[in-house]
Chain A
Amino acid sequence: AQKITQTQPGMFVQEKEAVTLDCTYDTSDPSYGLFWYKQPSSGEMIFLIYQGSYDQQNATEGRYSLNFQKARKSANLVISASQLGDSAMYFCAMREGLVLTGGGNKLTFGTGTQLKVEL
């Protein structure tokens, strides 16, 4: 079974509008972390935001926020006030378990959502 599902292969949004990128995950481990990365056309992976499974509040980093709904196993990324520079591929990823265990820091990635910001 897919551990990370991103159901939107592509999204369009107008500049200055907010956009939500969907991510659902599947794990039976109570300890896990959820990540979002941005990959522009140049190819590098840019870390955006992190949410731990025990964090009480939704994570925020500038214009990025993570809408964490634990019971629904969803971790949607919200980008407010979209900019042209936000056009990129966005990946949701999950790390299961504790870091100190063997393989504990593996990130399992979704297939990505291509976001295009339009004027």
Chain B
Amino acid sequence: EAQVTQNPRYLITVTGKKLTVTCSQNMNHEYMSWYRQDPGLGLRQIYYSMNVEVTDKGDVPEGYKVSRKEKRNFPLILESPSPNQTSLYFCASSPIPKGYEQYFGPGTRLTVT
């Protein structure tokens, strides 16, 4: 089954404790990205990657890091989480050039206390 998976689905952590949210897709898609969703703001892009070793900032990259060492994986790293990073996070992937096909993961609900 074609899918994007994220882990963990739910996470409660404390300020400053480094964490990684994993994202993996099994569709051989070149393009992957991370979004965060906050009430009243819709979804905003954090980082994206056009292919292996090619990443770039989205609209709200502060406080986040990413890496793309393999085509299927695109982890999101919070080196020192803060309460304002409490949010619902989505990973998405799509093939190039059929960018209208965008597949979302199930979401990761992160709470930073």
Contacts and interface: CB of A to CB of B under 8 A. Distances in A.
A95 B33 CA distance: 13
Given A43-B107, A44-B107, A105 B102 contact: yes
Q: Which of A50, A105, A106, A107 has the most CB atoms of chain B within a 10 A radius of its CB?
A: A105
Contacts of B74: none
A35 B102 contact: yes
17 contacts: A33-B99, A33-B100, A43-B88, A44-B107, A47-B103, A93-B43, A95-B99, A99-B96, A99-B98, A103-B56, A104-B99, A105-B96, A105-B99, A106-B45, A106-B59, A107-B45, A109-B35
Q: Which of A35, A98, A107, A110 has the most CB atoms of chain B within a 10 A radius of its CB?
A: A107
Contacts of B43: 45, 91, 93, 107, 109
Interface residues of B, number: 29
Interface of A: 4, 33, 35, 37, 43-45, 47, 50, 52, 91, 93, 95, 98-100, 102-107, 109-112
B68 interface: no
B interface SS class: strand
A83 to B, nearest CB: 22
A interface SS class: loop
Given A105-B33, A106-B48, A45 B90 contact: yes
B100 A50 contact: yes
B94 interface: yes
Contacts of A100: 96-97
A111 B88 contact: no
A73 B35 CA distance: 25
Nearest to B99: A99
A112 B103 CA distance: 19
A102 B50 contact: yes
Contact of A52 (B56, B100, B104): B100
B56 A44 contact: no
Contact of B100 (A4, A35, A45): A35
